[in-house]
């Protein structure tokens, strides 16, 4: 998958306050003709709103996540799985990232596995069991492969939903409204994708654990069909070394 937003792309927080509207009802005039304010009884207050468990940790986790993905030297492993919801296309990317270097193994249904390994200024590629070949690749395409944040909405739009059900130490966030995405190559080709739903699970320290999205647009599995995708993260910030393959 590709990314219009770089790993460091976040939108500045702008917490907007909603205005409070107060209605004042005026009574009719008394017999003397002097205006009087009507008296009314406020409805009984409802039960206090109970905050979501661990809500006090959510904002800090999101801020730490923003700082983490802004790092140019970030290391992580991610297993990305994409499936079209109509045509039956599937694809996976098994990816190790070490700053600007990465090692990716891509599998698309009906095609031979493809490995891509940019190291320094040289990009190595191999199809199936064939030989490694080297050359210079388009930097836009390389960035898209290593950038799982393409499908992430602006961080301001993520709402905390409580502790994650499938991760004991995870905090679950969701984007509350659909949004569009566009990589650099998609922009050049006049293509735009749309995400209908997104969930993100983070540790308290901002480490991503999982991201799930559904939407429509071009992916490894489709040129423009509806799809679902999951990203499972591990080894975030741990030592990862990507070496040139032996040829």
Residue 132: both structure tokens together: 């490694």
Task: Please give the pLDDT value at position 138.
Answer: 82
Tokens 């904002």, located at residue = 59
CA atoms within 13 A on the CB side of 21: 1
Tokens 């939108």, located at residue = 11
Which segment, 7-16, 129-138, 213-222, is predicted with the most confidence on average?
129-138
Domains along the sequence of the chain with CATH = 61-234 (2.50.20.20)
Tokens 């290593």, located at residue = 146
Residue 235 to residue 244: CA distance in whole angstroms:
20
Confidence at 184, pLDDT banded by 50, 70, 90: confident
Q: Which of 99-103, 170-174, 219-223 has the lowest mean pLDDT?
A: 219-223
Q: Which residue has the higher pLDDT, 209 or 87?
A: 209
192-215: pLDDT as tens digits: 999 999 999 999 999 999 999 999
pTM for this predicted structure: 0.77
97-145: pLDDT as tens digits: 998 899 999 998 888 999 999 998 899 999 999 999 999 888 787 777 7
Three-class HEC string of 125-136: EEECCCCCEEEC
Q: Which residue has the higher pLDDT, 7 or 102?
A: 102
Question: In the predicted model, is pLDDT for residue 149 greater than 80?
Answer: yes
Cβ proximity of 213 and 77 under 8 Å: no
């Amino acid at each position: 998958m590709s990314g219009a937003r770089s790993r460091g792309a976040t939108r500045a927080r702008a917490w907007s306050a909603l205005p409070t509207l107060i209605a004042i009802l005026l009574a009719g005039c008394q017999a003397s003709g002097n205006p009087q304010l009507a008296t009314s009884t406020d409805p009984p207050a409802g039960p206090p709103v109970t905050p979501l468990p661990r809500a006090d940790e959510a904002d800090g986790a999101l801020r730490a996540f923003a700082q983490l993905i802004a790092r140019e030297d970030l290391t992580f492993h991610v297993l990305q799985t994409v499936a079209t919801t109509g045509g039956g296309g599937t694809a996976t990317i098994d990816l190790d990232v070490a700053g600007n270097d990465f090692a990716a193994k891509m599998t698309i249904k009906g095609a031979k596995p493809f490995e891509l390994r940019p190291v320094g200024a040289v990009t190595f590629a191999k199809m199936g069991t064939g030989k490694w070949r080297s050359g210079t690749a388009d930097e836009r395409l390389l960035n898209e492969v290593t950038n799982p944040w393409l499908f992430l909405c602006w961080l301001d739009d993520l709402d905390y939903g409580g502790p994650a059900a499938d991760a004991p130490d995870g905090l679950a966030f969701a984007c509350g409204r659909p949004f569009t995405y566009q990589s650099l190559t998609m922009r050049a080709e006049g293509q735009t994708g749309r995400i209908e739903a997104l969930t993100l699970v983070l540790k308290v320290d901002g480490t991503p654990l999982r991201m799930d999205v559904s939407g429509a647009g071009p992916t490894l599995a489709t040129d423009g069909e509806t799809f679902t995708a999951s990203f499972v993260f591990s080894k975030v910030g741990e030592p990862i070394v990507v070496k040139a393959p032996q040829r």
